[in-house]
Amino acid sequence: MTELKVVEDGGGLMTMQEASDYLKIKVSTLYDMCMRKKVPVVKIGRLNRFKLSDLEAFINRNRQEAN
């Protein structure tokens, strides 16, 4: 549960690497999703940061039920 500790210590924002680890996808995939506005991102200057609650909402929006 390193991700949760990082979020608590970082004021609730995750880096691109931390968010990609949390979502279990490549950083390049997450970057592409940000560019296509598929995942919510907090811009701080040139940096992309992510709120855990936004990532959880993204997961819930994209969840597909089994047949």
* Residue 2 domain flag: no
Q: How many domains does the chain have?
A: 1
- 1 has a pLDDT exceeding 50: no
Average pLDDT of the segment spanning 1-28 = 79
* Residue 45 domain flag: yes
Q: Which domain holds residue 28?
A: 13-59
- 46 has a pLDDT exceeding 90: yes
- 45 has a pLDDT exceeding 80: yes
* Residue 7 domain flag: no
CA angle 57/64/32 to nearest 5° reads 60
* Residue 41 domain flag: yes
Strand extents, DSSP E, the chain:
13-14, 42-44, 47-51
Burial 15-24 (b: 16+ CB within 10 A, else e): ebebbbbbbe
pLDDT at 66: 79
| pLDDT tens profile 22-44 | 999 999 999 999 999 999 999 99
* Residue 4 domain flag: no
Tokens representing 64? 């597909």
pLDDT at 27: 98
* Residue 52 domain flag: yes
* Residue 64 domain flag: no
* Residue 38 domain flag: yes
